[in-house]
Chain A
Amino acid sequence: MTAMLRAAGVSLSFGDTPALRGADVAVDEGEIVAVMGPSGSGKSTLLHCLAGILVPDSGEIHVDGHRIDTLGEAARSALRRERFGFVFQFGQLVPELTAAENIALPLLLSGVRRAPALSRAEGWLSRLGLDGLGGRRSGELSGGQAQRVALARALAGSPRVVFADEPTGSLDSLAGEQVMDLLVGAAREQGTTVVVVTHDARVAAYADREIMVRDGRVTTPVGTS
């Protein structure tokens, strides 16, 4: 089976500080993988390399069998927009837009017209238990609600892969579990591959397996399962 995501011998330094030192990873299509490790171990850097946000100094990144680390910024940006969804620790919603508009944003950027984009956004609001909140701006939402909006925004474009970097880090344990439950449920329904960076074992327990990163190296078996 071809892995949906594969990193081979990936190294990356920030100045003189190595963040990744020959990291190897493979993630199957539809698999939900947690990336764990101590602070500063390189787990977020690994996620950013897999997602084409950062380009490694050496090594290769493949997405669905295609090498992406040799692509230019414009091509990687298009890849991220069209095939990936992102959830970060602090939702990073656009404060001037309503919840529904935030969810519709990636659809609008991909060329979907406003009315159908907002209609699909409303569907996601309902699916994630946010009925009636579509008109609120991010400042009018609780942390858990805002993170569910961020989740809907990541999933609305039916991405092949969702990358989540500490998606529950700013939430209390119950709200965090709701977000993970929704993320895993939606990903399984859609067959979406998920890579979630977390230091929280309870979050990692929602994944199919975990990858440990220590000192810039992946210390668990490479996969794929």
Chain B
Amino acid sequence: MVLRMSVPLTLLGLLEREPSHGYDLKRDYDTYFGRGKSLPFGQVYSTLARLARDGKVVMDEVAAGAGPDRKRYVITDAGATEVNTWLTEPVPAEPHLQSVLFAKVVLALMLDRPAEEYLDTQRRAHLARMRELTEIKRTGGLVDGLLADHGLFHLEADLRWIDTTAARLDALREQVRS
């Protein structure tokens, strides 16, 4: 599941693709990012309310939907800027980031953004952190070195995922845009 902190940005990204009803947003979120743990409707609407309060989305004309959900949400320029910033900037290189990276890659492909460049940027950020930890290993004591090793192994796992994903971007693009 996408980390809680990225749910608003993920919903914003889905809205950049097209204006949507809350129900549709929940369905798409659960399909691509839920992984067995769906996003509660309450969280969808409370998140959308906060995004509206902050000027990131506005409510469209009331449209006749298939169900009781008649509000359609539209991303604003401020919201689109926030999505762009989020996609473009690397996540701080820490272990266990796969779910955030996954959300970014899928949204970038949905929005026809340069997902490969984002992965390259993230790879550079990871390698820069690995260089720092390696220097600690080279110059520090055994305890520092072993702690650095722990971080290095986790960052390496992220990097392997980045490389594997980069190699499969075309197939993933086809899947998320079909």
Contacts and interface: CB of A to CB of B under 8 A. Distances in A.
User: Do A and B interact with each other, yes or no?
Assistant: yes
Interface of A: 38, 177, 181, 184-185, 201-202, 204-208, 210, 212, 219-220
B105 interface: no
Nearest to B123: A212
A124 to B, nearest CB: 20
B1 interface: no
A181 B124 CA distance: 21
Contacts of B130: 201-202, 204-205
B124 A205 contact: no
B139 to A, nearest CB: 10
A219 B137 CA distance: 29
In the complex, the 7 A-B pairs of residues with the closest C-beta atoms, listed nearest first: A205-B130, A205-B134, A201-B159, A205-B131, A201-B156, A210-B127, A206-B134
Interface of B: 120, 123-124, 126-127, 130-131, 133-134, 137-138, 152, 155-156, 159-160, 163, 167
- Secondary structure type dominating chain A contacts: mixed
Contacts of B133: 205
A205 B152 contact: yes
Contact of A204 (B127, B137, B167): B127
Interface centre among A38, A201, A202 (most CB of B within 10 A): A201
Contacts, number: 37
B167 A38 contact: yes
A187 to B, nearest CB: 13
A61 B167 CA distance: 30
Contacts of B155: 201
Contacts of B131: 205-208
A212 B134 contact: no
30 contacts: A38-B163, A177-B137, A181-B138, A184-B138, A185-B138, A201-B126, A201-B130, A201-B156, A201-B159, A201-B160, A202-B130, A202-B134, A202-B152, A202-B156, A204-B127, A205-B127, A205-B130, A205-B131, A205-B134, A205-B152, A206-B131, A206-B134, A206-B138, A208-B131, A210-B124, A210-B127, A212-B120, A212-B123, A220-B120, A220-B124
A207 B130 CA distance: 10
A79 to B, nearest CB: 31
Contacts of B163: 38
A185 to B, nearest CB: 8
A82 B41 CA distance: 71
Contacts of A206: 131, 134, 138
B121 to A, nearest CB: 10
A40 to B, nearest CB: 11
A169 B133 CA distance: 21
B107 to A, nearest CB: 22
A184 B135 CA distance: 11
Nearest to B163: A38
B38 to A, nearest CB: 35
